[in-house]
Amino acid sequence: MRQGPEIEHLDADLRRSTLVAGGFMGADPRSVADVIDADAGELSRLGVTARELASRMREVTNQAARAQGVWTEVDPEHEAQVDEARGALPCPWRHRGRYFKRITTIRRKGSDDILRWSDLSLHMIDAHGFFEGKGSMFRVEPAALVQMLY
Protein backbone atom coordinates (compact mmCIF):
# COMPACT_ATOMS: atom_id res chain seq x y z
CA MET A 1 0.00 0.00 0.00
CA ARG A 2 1.26 3.45 -0.86
CA GLN A 3 1.90 5.39 2.32
CA GLY A 4 0.27 8.80 2.43
CA PRO A 5 1.50 11.49 4.80
CA GLU A 6 -1.34 10.69 7.18
CA ILE A 7 -0.26 7.12 7.70
CA GLU A 8 3.40 8.08 8.08
CA HIS A 9 2.75 10.26 11.08
CA LEU A 10 0.47 7.53 12.39
CA ASP A 11 3.33 5.08 12.15
CA ALA A 12 5.46 7.23 14.43
CA ASP A 13 2.57 7.92 16.79
CA LEU A 14 1.65 4.28 17.19
CA ARG A 15 5.25 3.28 17.82
CA ARG A 16 5.90 5.79 20.54
CA SER A 17 2.45 5.62 22.05
CA THR A 18 2.63 5.22 25.79
CA LEU A 19 -1.12 4.75 26.03
CA VAL A 20 -0.68 1.01 26.09
CA ALA A 21 2.46 -0.71 27.37
CA GLY A 22 4.76 -1.19 24.40
CA GLY A 23 2.55 0.94 22.15
CA PHE A 24 0.34 -0.59 19.53
CA MET A 25 3.14 -1.94 17.37
CA GLY A 26 4.96 -4.16 19.87
CA ALA A 27 8.31 -5.16 18.39
CA ASP A 28 6.90 -5.31 14.87
CA PRO A 29 9.38 -3.74 12.43
CA ARG A 30 6.76 -3.37 9.67
CA SER A 31 4.94 -0.14 8.91
CA VAL A 32 1.35 0.32 10.04
CA ALA A 33 0.23 0.13 6.40
CA ASP A 34 2.05 -3.19 5.94
CA VAL A 35 0.51 -4.64 9.09
CA ILE A 36 -2.95 -3.61 7.90
CA ASP A 37 -2.30 -5.00 4.41
CA ALA A 38 -1.01 -8.34 5.66
CA ASP A 39 -4.01 -8.78 7.96
CA ALA A 40 -6.39 -7.75 5.19
CA GLY A 41 -4.86 -10.48 3.01
CA GLU A 42 -5.27 -13.00 5.82
CA LEU A 43 -8.90 -11.96 6.31
CA SER A 44 -9.69 -12.34 2.64
CA ARG A 45 -8.23 -15.87 2.73
CA LEU A 46 -10.44 -16.54 5.75
CA GLY A 47 -13.46 -15.12 3.93
CA VAL A 48 -14.45 -12.57 6.55
CA THR A 49 -14.08 -8.80 6.77
CA ALA A 50 -12.64 -6.81 9.66
CA ARG A 51 -16.05 -5.20 10.10
CA GLU A 52 -17.82 -8.54 10.35
CA LEU A 53 -15.30 -9.74 12.93
CA ALA A 54 -15.61 -6.50 14.89
CA SER A 55 -19.36 -6.74 14.88
CA ARG A 56 -19.20 -10.27 16.34
CA MET A 57 -16.63 -9.06 18.91
CA ARG A 58 -18.94 -6.20 19.88
CA GLU A 59 -21.82 -8.63 20.43
CA VAL A 60 -19.61 -10.68 22.76
CA THR A 61 -18.52 -7.55 24.65
CA ASN A 62 -22.10 -6.32 25.00
CA GLN A 63 -23.35 -9.69 26.18
CA ALA A 64 -20.54 -10.10 28.70
CA ALA A 65 -20.76 -6.51 29.93
CA ARG A 66 -24.28 -7.19 31.18
CA ALA A 67 -22.86 -9.83 33.54
CA GLN A 68 -20.78 -7.14 35.29
CA GLY A 69 -17.41 -8.80 35.75
CA VAL A 70 -18.64 -12.39 36.02
CA TRP A 71 -17.93 -15.06 33.39
CA THR A 72 -21.03 -15.53 31.32
CA GLU A 73 -21.97 -17.87 28.50
CA VAL A 74 -22.01 -16.14 25.12
CA ASP A 75 -22.79 -19.27 23.12
CA PRO A 76 -22.88 -22.97 23.96
CA GLU A 77 -19.09 -23.32 23.57
CA HIS A 78 -17.76 -20.02 24.89
CA GLU A 79 -17.88 -17.78 27.89
CA ALA A 80 -16.69 -14.22 28.24
CA GLN A 81 -15.95 -11.64 30.88
CA VAL A 82 -15.59 -7.88 30.74
CA ASP A 83 -13.23 -6.09 33.11
CA GLU A 84 -14.43 -2.58 33.57
CA ALA A 85 -11.51 -0.20 33.97
CA ARG A 86 -11.77 3.46 34.70
CA GLY A 87 -10.81 5.90 32.04
CA ALA A 88 -10.85 6.07 28.30
CA LEU A 89 -8.34 6.35 25.48
CA PRO A 90 -8.42 8.32 22.25
CA CYS A 91 -8.08 6.55 18.90
CA PRO A 92 -4.55 7.10 17.49
CA TRP A 93 -6.19 8.01 14.17
CA ARG A 94 -7.19 11.13 16.03
CA HIS A 95 -10.90 10.69 15.74
CA ARG A 96 -13.10 12.49 18.08
CA GLY A 97 -14.29 10.34 20.89
CA ARG A 98 -12.63 8.09 23.37
CA TYR A 99 -12.82 4.38 24.03
CA PHE A 100 -13.27 2.81 27.42
CA LYS A 101 -10.32 0.96 28.82
CA ARG A 102 -12.46 -2.08 29.52
CA ILE A 103 -11.17 -5.42 28.37
CA THR A 104 -13.17 -8.36 27.05
CA THR A 105 -11.84 -11.88 27.52
CA ILE A 106 -13.41 -14.81 25.69
CA ARG A 107 -12.62 -18.42 26.55
CA ARG A 108 -13.50 -21.72 25.01
CA LYS A 109 -15.26 -23.53 27.85
CA GLY A 110 -13.10 -25.94 29.78
CA SER A 111 -9.89 -24.82 28.09
CA ASP A 112 -7.10 -22.28 28.46
CA ASP A 113 -7.84 -21.09 24.96
CA ILE A 114 -8.55 -17.37 25.45
CA LEU A 115 -8.48 -14.16 23.46
CA ARG A 116 -8.81 -10.62 24.73
CA TRP A 117 -9.41 -7.20 23.33
CA SER A 118 -9.96 -3.68 24.59
CA ASP A 119 -12.71 -1.35 23.37
CA LEU A 120 -10.03 0.61 21.53
CA SER A 121 -8.59 -2.46 19.80
CA LEU A 122 -12.12 -3.41 18.77
CA HIS A 123 -12.62 0.06 17.30
CA MET A 124 -9.25 -0.04 15.47
CA ILE A 125 -10.17 -3.40 13.90
CA ASP A 126 -13.63 -2.14 12.96
CA ALA A 127 -12.78 1.29 11.59
CA HIS A 128 -9.16 0.88 10.48
CA GLY A 129 -8.63 -2.86 9.90
CA PHE A 130 -5.74 -2.55 12.37
CA PHE A 131 -5.09 -5.61 14.55
CA GLU A 132 -1.89 -4.05 16.02
CA GLY A 133 1.71 -5.08 15.54
CA LYS A 134 3.15 -8.45 16.53
CA GLY A 135 4.07 -8.38 20.20
CA SER A 136 1.65 -5.59 21.04
CA MET A 137 -0.32 -6.34 24.20
CA PHE A 138 -3.66 -6.48 22.40
CA ARG A 139 -2.56 -7.94 19.08
CA VAL A 140 -5.09 -10.60 18.13
CA GLU A 141 -4.46 -12.82 15.14
CA PRO A 142 -7.34 -12.63 12.66
CA ALA A 143 -7.23 -16.43 12.24
CA ALA A 144 -7.50 -16.95 16.01
CA LEU A 145 -10.48 -14.62 16.16
CA VAL A 146 -12.21 -16.38 13.29
CA GLN A 147 -11.60 -19.73 14.96
CA MET A 148 -12.97 -18.50 18.27
CA LEU A 149 -15.95 -16.51 17.00
CA TYR A 150 -17.25 -18.61 14.10
Binding residues vs Zn ion (CB under 5 A): 91, 93, 95, 127
**126 vs 10, 15, 57, 138, CA distance in Å?**
17, 20, 10, 14
Contact, 65 vs 83, CB < 8 A?
A: no
- Shortest approach of Zn ion to residue 14 CB, angstroms? 12
Nearer to Zn ion, 8 or 75 (CB): 8
- Shortest approach of Zn ion to residue 89 CB, angstroms? 11
Helix (H, G, I), strand (E, B) or coil at 25: coil
Nearer to Zn ion, 25 or 80 (CB): 25
Nearer to Zn ion, 3 or 68 (CB): 3
Give the count of beta carbons closer than 10 Å to the beta carbon of residue 111: 9
Give the count of beta carbons closer than 10 Å to the beta carbon of residue 133: 22
- Shortest approach of Zn ion to residue 109 CB, angstroms? 33
Contact, 30 vs 11, CB < 8 A?
A: no
Contact, 83 vs 93, CB < 8 A?
A: no
Nearer to Zn ion, 93 or 100 (CB): 93
- Shortest approach of Zn ion to residue 121 CB, angstroms? 11
